């Protein structure tokens, strides 16, 4: 039996929430596309996957793994290319799909994917050398992977630790990259002298959440530094908290200033919303700690740590 006959094509079912999936559903619903449009698209993707598998086969047989990867690549490229050609307009996308020339969207999607991956590689290699990396510890493994990727093949070569060649997805991985980039943009927008001072004090072992808590304190007390002392941490607790909750005026001030800063520093609306939620989460952490003492939740100036 042909090994490809055992491939579970349901795994490549077009996501109904994707731009491509929504466009096909809309076209079928309003009879601008035939009822078998999903099957026709899947057949096209299968053909693209077969072409890819034949091009990169080793020996006589066709690898099931390469076939499936070829289908995935074609699907990603269709998604990117169609959305680009349609300008993000679903109605325009339906009209384009009705023309029946899927290859033009796949080719455009391939170009977009290449430039996305090239951007990821260059920006990641740069980030690893920058001071902002000290506050992005949980992202550095991914950043290190992206810095080694090959845009032409959507792969990352084996690392020094003997890891196997790894594949990268211009949709999922690029979304994760955009999240990291937004954090870098935010960190670069902070007063750089104050940021460098905080980095030196933290000594490279801090997390993004640690920086957010220091930022909350500095905004609440209108400080120019991001590295408060013990006296300022105590002042923050006494002035801004009561009964295990942050005083409304102080809370509103912090959230307003954070919102204003994010709007000017971060282009990605989803990333801004996520960081707003993270600031709110750190406010809750500080509220829980306000009754017992919160100094341990801040990166304090060196002289503040001396007994």
Asked if 194 and 299 sit in the same domain, the reply is yes
The string of pLDDT tens digits covering residues 81-123 is 999 999 999 999 999 999 999 999 999 999 999 999 999 999 9
Domain termination site, one of 85, 100, 115 = 100
Flag whether pLDDT at 1 surpasses 90: no
- pTM attached to this predicted model: 0.87
Average pLDDT of the chain is 91
* 220 assigned to some structural domain: yes
Asked if 294 and 194 sit in the same domain, the reply is yes
pLDDT at 65: 86
* 139 assigned to some structural domain: no
* 113 assigned to some structural domain: no
* 1 assigned to some structural domain: no
Structural domain boundaries enclosing 234? 190-304
* 53 assigned to some structural domain: yes
Total tally of structural domains belonging to the chain: 2
Q: pLDDT tier at 146 (50, 70, 90 boundaries)? A: very high
* 110 assigned to some structural domain: no
pLDDT over 90 percentage in the chain = 79
The string of pLDDT tens digits covering residues 43-92 is 999 999 999 988 877 766 678 888 989 999 999 999 999 999 999 999 99
Domain termination site, one of 65, 100, 135 = 100
* 182 assigned to some structural domain: no
* 60 assigned to some structural domain: yes
User: Would you list the DSSP string of the chain?
Assistant: --GGGG--GGGGPPPTTSHHHHHHHHHHHTTSS-TTHHHHHHHHHHHHHHHHHHHT--SSSPPHHHHHHHHHHHHHHHHHHHHHHTTT-HHHHHHHHHT--HHHHHHHHHHHHHHHHHHHHHHHHHHTTSGGGGG-GGGHHHHHHHTT-BTTTTEE---TT-PPPEE--TTHHHHHHHHHHHHHHHHHHS-HHHHHHHHHHHTT---HHHHHHHHHHHHHHT-S-SS--HHHHHHHHHHHEETTEE-HHHHHHHHHHHHHHHHHH---HHHHHHHHHHHHHHHHHHHHHTTT--GGGS---GGGS--
Domain termination site, one of 68, 100, 132 = 100
């Amino acid at each position: 039996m042909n090994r490809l006959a055992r491939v579970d094509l349901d795994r490549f079912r077009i996501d109904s929430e994707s731009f491509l999936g929504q466009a096909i559903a809309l076209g079928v619903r309003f009879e601008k596309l035939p009822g078998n449009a999903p099957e026709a698209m899947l057949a096209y993707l299968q053909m693209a996957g077969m072409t890819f598998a034949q091009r990169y086969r080793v020996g006589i047989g066709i690898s099931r793994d390469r076939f499936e990867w070829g289908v995935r690549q074609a699907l990603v490229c269709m998604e990117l290319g169609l959305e680009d050609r349609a300008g993000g307009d679903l109605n325009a996308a339906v009209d384009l799909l009705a023309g029946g020339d899927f290859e033009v969207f796949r080719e455009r999607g391939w170009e977009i994917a290449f430039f996305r991956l090239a951007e990821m590689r260059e920006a990641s290699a740069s980030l690893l050398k920058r001071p902002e990396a000290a506050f992005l510890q949980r992202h550095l493994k991914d950043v290190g992977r992206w810095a080694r990727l090959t845009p032409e093949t959507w792969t990352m070569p084996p690392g020094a630790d003997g890891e196997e060649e790894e594949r990268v997805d211009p949709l999922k991985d690029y979304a994760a990259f955009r999240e990291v980039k937004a954090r870098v943009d935010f960190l670069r927008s902070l007063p750089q002298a104050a940021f460098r001072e905080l980095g030196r004090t933290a000594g490279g072992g801090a997390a993004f959440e640690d920086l957010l808590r220091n930022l909350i304190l500095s905004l609440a007390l209108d400080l120019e530094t991001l590295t408060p002392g013990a006296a300022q941490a105590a002042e923050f607790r006494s002035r801004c908290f009561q009964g295990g909750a942050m005083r409304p005026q102080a809370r509103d001030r912090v959230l307003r200033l954070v919102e204003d800063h994010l709007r000017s520093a971060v282009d990605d609306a989803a990333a801004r919303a996520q960081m707003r939620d993270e600031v709110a989460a750190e406010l809750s952490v500080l509220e829980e700690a306000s009754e017992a003492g919160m100094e341990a939740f801040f990166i304090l100036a060196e002289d503040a740590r001396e007994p």
